[in-house]
């Protein structure tokens, strides 16, 4: 069985009592001790007074992420979070096989948490830049297992994932096997 995609998303707490830092040049430092974010990663900041929303990390240290924002002084509180945007609604993974065949595709969601978290997963094929949905899993709102069969599956397929609402924790895997 080939694993097509595996995601594990965990939110990181903004340091309780930590303060926003004016880095200069339209950049703001947000204290997040022990994070694993890298520059260029898209995140969502939640529950703050001044910095909520989608951001791209410009740079980071072990205990701080830097975002592009107008600086406003803020002392962060318990419950303020930064979550990696794992879902960018793009092609997540491919599976290749030879010739047309039937394929079993499996979705295993072991964790899905947040503010009304929803996960949509489709199996697709692209020809000349146009995507066609070959199969769709039921929308997941928590732990679940599901299998779908795609008959006469083309040679190259991919999985597209999309989260709706605020996701604070997600752990899921999509795998496939030809039969």
The reply to whether 150 and 170 lie within a common domain is yes
What's the CA angle centered on 66, arms 31 and 41, to 5 degrees? 110
Domain boundary among 84, 104, 136: 84
The reply to whether 53 and 123 lie within a common domain is no
Q: What share of the chain is helix, strand, coil (3-state, %, to 5)?
A: 0, 65, 35
The reply to whether 61 and 112 lie within a common domain is no
Note the pTM of the prediction, 2 decimals.
0.59
Q: If we measure between CA atoms, which residue out of 64, 84, 97 comes closest to residue 7?
A: 84
Name the average pLDDT for the chain.
Answer: 82
What's the CA angle centered on 131, arms 172 and 122, to 5 degrees? 25
The reply to whether 58 and 125 lie within a common domain is no
Per-residue pLDDT reduced to its tens digit, 49-95: 999 988 899 999 989 999 999 999 999 998 888 887 654 334 445 55
Domain containing residue 94: 87-178
The reply to whether 102 and 68 lie within a common domain is no
Q: How confident is the model at residue 46 (pLDDT cuts 50, 70, 90)?
A: confident
Q: Which residue would you say has higher pLDDT here, 47 or 145? A: 145
Q: Which residue would you say has higher pLDDT here, 3 or 155? A: 155
The reply to whether 102 and 133 lie within a common domain is yes
Sheet holding 27-31, edge to edge: 21-24, 27-31, 64-68, 59-61
Domain count, the chain: 2
Q: Of 61-75, 88-102, 105-119, 163-177, where does the model show the most confidence?
A: 61-75
Which whole number is the average pLDDT over 103-126?
86
In this predicted structure, the answer to whether residue 179 has a pLDDT above a threshold of 90 is: no
3-state secondary structure of 160: strand
């Amino acid at each position: 069985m080939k694993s097509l995609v595996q995601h594990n998303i965990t939110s990181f707490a903004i340091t309780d009592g930590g303060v926003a830092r004016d880095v200069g040049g339209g950049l703001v430092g947000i204290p997040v001790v022990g994070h694993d974010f890298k520059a260029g990663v898209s995140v969502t900041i939640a529950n703050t007074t001044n910095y909520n929303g989608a951001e791209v990390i410009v740079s980071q240290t072990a205990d701080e992420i830097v975002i592009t924002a107008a600086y406003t002084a803020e002392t962060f509180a318990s419950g303020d979070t930064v979550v990696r945007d794992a879902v960018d609604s793009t092609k997540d993974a491919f599976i290749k096989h030879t010739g047309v065949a039937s394929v079993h595709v499996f979705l295993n969601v072991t964790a899905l948490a947040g503010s009304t978290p929803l996960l949509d997963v489709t199996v697709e094929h692209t020809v000349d830049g146009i995507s066609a949905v070959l199969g769709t899993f039921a929308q997941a709102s928590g732990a679940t297992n599901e299998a779908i069969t795609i008959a006469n599956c083309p040679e190259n397929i991919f999985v597209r994932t999309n989260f709706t609402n605020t996701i604070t924790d997600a752990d899921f895997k999509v795998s496939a096997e030809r039969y």
